[in-house]
Amino acid sequence: MKTVSFLNATIIHTLRILALIICLSNINTANATSIIVNIEDMGLQNWDVIHKESLGFGSSGPVTLNWDPNNDFFTELLAYNSGYSGKGAAFCWYGEACALELLVSEENTSIVLESFFLGYFGEEGVVEYDVIDLETESSILYGAPNISGSSGSLISVDASSDVGFRILFGPDGFNGGINNIAYSYSSLGQGITVVPIPTAALLFGSGLLGLISFAHQPRKSKNLNQEKVSYNF
C-alpha cells in the first residue's frame, strides 16, 4: 500500500508540473520598445538635408522614419543643432506643411506616437501642427499654439496605429521646428495565444494517466479461510 500511495503522489505531482509547463507555453508576450528621436544625435551640420545625409534616422525595428515624405524641396526637413527654444530641431523652408512620417513596415505590429517637441527660433510665434493617422487618413490631433522661444512646447499625442503617422507643422516651418519625437512599437499578438501542445507531451500525459488508472484498479483480496481440501484414503 505504501508503494502505491507513493507512486500516486509522484504521478500527480508530475502531472501538475506538466500542466504548468503547458500553460506557460501558451503565453506569448511582447514588450513595447520605446524610442526618442533627438535631432542633436544625428551628428549633422546645420542646414544639412536629413533624408540625404542621414536617411531614415530614428528608425527602429519595424518602424521607418521618412524625413521627406512629400519629396518636395520646400517641405523636406533640415537639421539645426541649437536655437529652437534651447534645443536643436528639424525645420523646413517656408512650406505650408513641413512633414515627417513614421511608417510601420511589418504586419501584426502597432506603433504608438507618444509625443513630440515644438521649438521656436526667435522670441515667440504660432506654429500649427496636425497629426494624421495613415490607417484612416484622418486628422487625430490639431493645434496652433503660441510657441515660446525660451521654453518651447511638448505636444502629447498618445495614439496608436497599425500603419503609421504623418506629422505636419507650419506654415512657418522655418522658425518653428520639431524635435524629441517619442514613439513605441509592439506586436499586436501580445497576450495569450493558442500554441499547439507537442505530441511528446500528450503521449507523456496519457501514459501518466494510464499509470494512475492502473494504480487505482481494485484488487481481489485473498480469503484467509480458504476451504481445506480433504483427501479420503
Q: Is the pLDDT of residue 55 over 90?
A: yes
The CB-side HSE value for 223 (13 A sphere, CA atoms) comes to 4
Higher pLDDT, 1 or 85: 85
Q: Is the pLDDT of residue 212 over 70?
A: no
pLDDT in the model for residue 195? 43
* Lowest mean pLDDT across 4-18, 64-78, 122-136: 4-18
Task: Compute the mean pLDDT over every residue in the chain, rounded to the nearest whole number.
Answer: 81
Q: Determine the average pLDDT of the residues in 68-79.
A: 95
What grid cell was written down for 225? 479461510
Q: Is the peptide bond before 69 cis (omega within 30 degrees of 0)?
A: no
Rounded Cα gap, residues 15 and 10, in angstroms? 9
pLDDT in the model for residue 7? 44
pLDDT in the model for residue 187? 78
Q: What percent of the chain has pLDDT over 70?
A: 67
The string of pLDDT tens digits covering residues 91-120 is 998 877 899 999 999 999 999 999 999 999
The DSSP string of 150-192 is TT-EEEEEEEEESSEEEEEEESSTTTEEEEEEEEEEEETT-EE
- CATH no., domain 33-187: 2.60.120
3-state secondary structure of 43: coil
Q: Determine the average pLDDT of the residues in 67-87.
A: 96
* Alpha helices in the chain, H assignment, sequence order: 2-25, 50-53, 199-215
Helix axis angle for 199-215 and 2-25, nearest 10°, is: 160
* Alpha helices in 181-227, H assignment, sequence order: 199-215
Which residues on adjacent β-strands are paired with residue 27? Answer: 192
pLDDT in the model for residue 199? 55
The string of pLDDT tens digits covering residues 145-199 is 999 999 999 999 999 999 999 999 998 899 999 999 999 999 765 443 444 545 5
- The CA distances from residue 118 to 87, 147, 157, 195, in Å, are 10, 7, 13, 45
